[in-house]
Amino acid sequence: MPREAFDEGTFFSIMHDPQTSSPPRTAPAAITVRADWRFVLMCTAVVAMAFLGSIADVRYLNPDDRWYAAWVWSGSWLQIAYDIAVEHGRLLKPSSYTYFFPYLFDSPLYQDALRLGTTLATCLIGGYVLARLLRMRELTLLYALVFFALAQNSANLNLFVNYPFAWEFTWATWLLGTLGLIVALDRQAMRYAVVGTLVMLIGLQEGFVAYAFTLPLIVLAHRLTVRPAWRYLVPYAVGITLWLVCWVIWRLLHPSSYDGSSMGGIAHPLLALRTIVTLSLGGAPLATVFNGEVALTLHSLREHVTALWFIKMLAVGAATMVLARLIGDGRPAVPLAPLALVVLVMVFIPNVLLGLTSHYQQWVTHGVHAVHYSQFSYYAWIALLVLGLVALFRRYRSMRVAAVAAAVLSVASFVTDWSNAGFNLEQKQYARRWNTFERWLRSEAFEAIAPGARIVMNDAAITGSPVSDTAYWLFVANARADRQVASIQPEGRQEAPTHYLYLYDEVRSPNQTLLFAAIDPAQGVDRALAHTVRIYPNTSNDRLEISARQLCVGDCPQSVAVNGRVAPQLFSDALSVVAHATPDANGVPVVTIRSPNLIDLRTVRVTFPRIAPDVTGLSAELGPGFHGWISHGERRSSWAEREAQILVRNDLRPLRDPDASVLAQRSFDWGAAWNLDVDLALWAPNDQTVTVLDDDGAQIVTLRLTAGQMLSRSIPLRLEQNAASARITLRSDGPAQAPIGELPPPVFQIVGLELRRSVPPLDFEP
């Protein structure tokens, strides 16, 4: 006899379906069960949000995604969908256009919602299908809990962060089509099978045709009489057959030589088998750890660990304990062993066609462990793990066994977060590069570019291939603008450039800048020189420290203008300013530096303030030429002569005592040095210029004092760790004031003096 109908309502209706195989409960027991469900639902929501939040703000990791977006921006995506189908030998179908859907609205929030929303939806649908087969409503939440607890990120073509929406949409329609078959078997109604077939065909792609072999296996596992059961496969057989006929006709009309669609790898059966197994195992939980893609070190743990990891771990353990009790009271409607066999087959089915192509065989030979189809193997791996937990909880109805299972899942969740952390950081930083470049595309400076501009790009690499990157950026720049940029080329590959572009990304840091300047046409092709430099920051820091070299010709030194304001300092061949970004006419933050001298664009460096290290043991004090401090309440000042010195003393300098222990000698790096900043505040009663010299008499910077105005400046100083002291000399050209007592006549005042250690910028060569 057919089993009693299983309510086909929403996910939440499953929780309270009175028609289950569980024994009836009294009113207090029912209240307890409802409380347990709410608790498990809350824990599952925490685990899901923890994972989905960790992969938010990720964009365009895959070259295909980047081009899909660019084609939408250019308005050519409908034609491009047809061209891709022809070139790759893939049937033009509704799912051919879903690749472009995430970019129809130019909103990162929309793209994240679509990508993360489809991941959440397919997870819940997959759990619901499993719960429907077994008539155990607890499995929907158990599946979602384990799914998000062990969901892994990686540097491979991971569907959590690559190919947003398109493949998940196909997977969702296939799961819904499978659900239609299950409901048709339960209800003994053909209309559900017909609807399921139509939904499945809407999103069907070539790689999913192999899943058709799972449909008769589901019928067998359903354990109904053979005659009424097989007829519900007829709509699916007819629909998939018609789809394949259309595909064959399309291939005959549009033959393709694309190696990703060629089955030439069938000539190497062992390599094909290795490819299928490797890509399927690459989708298993913790595969990145077992494959050696990530190294779990204490350093990475200290760098990335957050309280959310522990909250997620506790939520996984607590929910597993409650679900173990609920599942132990249930009774599966289908034997677990046949269903587990079906799920095991589904682990390998997604990668069967890939294993037969020489294209993916070469990938595996070169060390690739997973591709986008491996993601669907992950769904099957989780289903297999859930079936194992069901068997365990029903076999051993013991809280001790449940506690062990909960502990194992909790630890696995923590290790998964640990292995994902590095990938998450790199991918979020990768997305920030796109945001930085797109800011420039919205800027006033980009709008002012004349048609036919030739931009030399020092570094804006995304894929590591300068040629393909510059071709992409050129396409995007023209798609985003109403004018045609003639070329964007790597340095050294272009004649007579008109503009210079440089995108700098600090390693493992949220600080990024894009430098853009119009090259001075009189300086020749090989010299990147400009009078005006624009720097577009993408950082949470409120100020930028900018330095560069400039050609000092004629009247030197001279001042520069920063964001339209003339800086009080005078610069010769070295330029160093601290500035805050201000919005341009289009609202894009930018720092604009204009100099009478030509700035060498290849030497521009931008650093950001960091937390200064401790300066205990180092001190700055007034030296010869100063008249001593005079207190004015909380402030103090000192008059200085025409030439005065500031001494920086090093009380940490070790003595080379031959009797000192080897350990003490090794604890000090004799070849190291500290990078220090000496913060000065100067005042003068009249206009004058103060030249700052280092210990060797070399000029550091020239300061221009305006009468009656205070000037604050940070003077960089490098102090060798084995040096007793260092000095900074201040030399003024101002007139002497009336002498104070018997002291020499003063010239200017120092109003503040502070010493701090600066963190050197990360090494890079522009």
d(CA 706, CA 683): 8
Residue 255: burial class (beta carbons within 10 Å; 0-12, 13-18, 19+): exposed
CA-based nearest residue to 500, from 585, 563, 440, 433: 440
**Residue 482 pLDDT:** 59
For residue 314, the model assigns a pLDDT of 96
What SS3 state is found at 653? coil
pLDDT at 11: 36
Tokens encoding 581: 């970004």
- What is the CB neighbour count within 10 angstroms for residue 741? 5
Parallel/antiparallel/unpaired status of strands 711-720 and 561-562: unpaired
Q: What is the pLDDT of residue 12?
A: 35
What integer pLDDT is reported at residue 634 of this predicted model? 62
Q: How far apart are the first and last CA of the chain?
A: 76
- pLDDT value for 637: 85
- Whether the CB-CB separation of 91 and 206 falls below 8 Å is answered with yes
33 contact partners, CB below 8 Å, separation of at least 6: 25, 326
Query: What is the pLDDT at residue 14?
Result: 37
Q: Do the bridges between strand 688-693 and strand 574-579 make them parallel or antiparallel, or are there none, so unpaired?
A: unpaired
Q: H or E stretch including 331?
A: none
Tally of CA atoms within 13 A in the half-sphere of 184 that contains its CB: 26
**How many CB atoms neighbour CB 103 within 10 A?**
24
- Which phi and psi angles does 669 have, rounded to 5°? -90, 105
* pLDDT at site 249: 93
Nearest C-alpha neighbor of 496 from the set 478, 473, 516, 520: 520
Determine if the pTM surpasses 0.75.
Answer: no
pLDDT at 518: 87
- Residues lower than pLDDT 70 in the chain: 1-33, 164, 223-228, 259-262, 264, 458-470, 480-497, 507-508, 523-526, 553-555, 609-616, 632-634, 652-674, 721, 741-742, 757-766
Delineate the domains of the chain, giving CATH numbers in brackets.
43-427 (no CATH), 442-607 (no CATH), 618-655+669-757 (2.60.120)
